[in-house]
Amino acid sequence: MLRLNVQEDGTAGSADTFEDFFAATNPRLFTALWLVTGDRYEAEEIVQDAFLRVFERWARVGRLDDPESYVYRTAMNVFRNRYRRAALAVRRSLSLAPQASDELAAVEDRDEVIRLLRPLPPRQRAAVVATSILDLSAEEAGRVLGMRPATVRALTSRARTRMKDEAVDPR
């Protein structure tokens, strides 16, 4: 029998199979990357690349205490590499279409969050998504993003200030 260990916070612990791990982790990772990139198709590609890399190393990664942090960090590294090559500039021009089943208020809220996240520098955007949307602590976000917790807190603070100013005065 296959089983997936789910921790009290709802995140995936070590899994017996990669398929279990993928099923438990994919939706949250996709959501996080969609918010970081601002583009659902770019997020899908990054998630696929990250899971491919984890799959290739599953014998080692599956034994880690926190394979979910490993896949998040891998995905963020893939994102940073793509960003450095300026591939994101072209793909950001694609619009995000809300699903037909969304309620109007939910669509407006989501669009507002995306509008406020989009102009942020990538590191600030990633820090806000990790701490505010995924509800990771600064320490957990630091592990996932590959930076110190103090850096995560500073980036998040600057990003929230900028987002608050933009929400009040959208220009």
Q: Which domain holds residue 128?
A: 98-171
Phi/psi-derived region of residue 44, left when phi > 0, alpha when psi is between -120 and 50, beta in every other case: alpha
Q: Are residues 127 and 63 in the same domain?
A: no
Q: Domain check: are 83 and 120 in the same one?
A: no
Does residue 82 contact residue 41 with C-beta atoms inside 8 Å?
A: no
Same domain, 104 and 117: yes
Summarised one tens digit per residue, pLDDT across range 38-58 is 889 989 999 999 999 999 999
- Walk along the chain (171 residues) and give the pLDDT tens digit of each residue: 233 444 444 444 445 789 999 999 999 999 999 988 888 998 999 999 999 999 999 999 999 989 999 999 999 999 888 777 654 455 444 444 444 554 555 556 667 778 888 888 888 888 888 888 888 889 988 988 899 999 999 998 998 888 888 776 655
Identify whether residues 157 and 142 lie together within a single domain.
yes
Residue type, 23: A
Same domain, 84 and 124: no
Distance CA 44, CA 61 (A): 21
Task: Dump pLDDT digits (tens) for 57-73.
Answer: 999 999 998 999 999 99
Number of domains within the chain: 2
Record the tokens describing residue 170, joined without a space: 């959208």
Q: Are residue 75 and residue 148 in the same domain, yes or no?
A: no
Which residue is listed with tokens 């990054």? 46
Looking at 94, 128, 156, the residue that finishes a domain is 94
The first and second tokens of residue 76, run together, are: 């963020």
Residues 82 and 103 in one domain: no
CATH of the domain at 155: 1.10.10.10
SS3 at position 65: coil
Rounded to an integer, what distance in angstroms lies between the CA atom of residue 33 and that of residue 44? 8
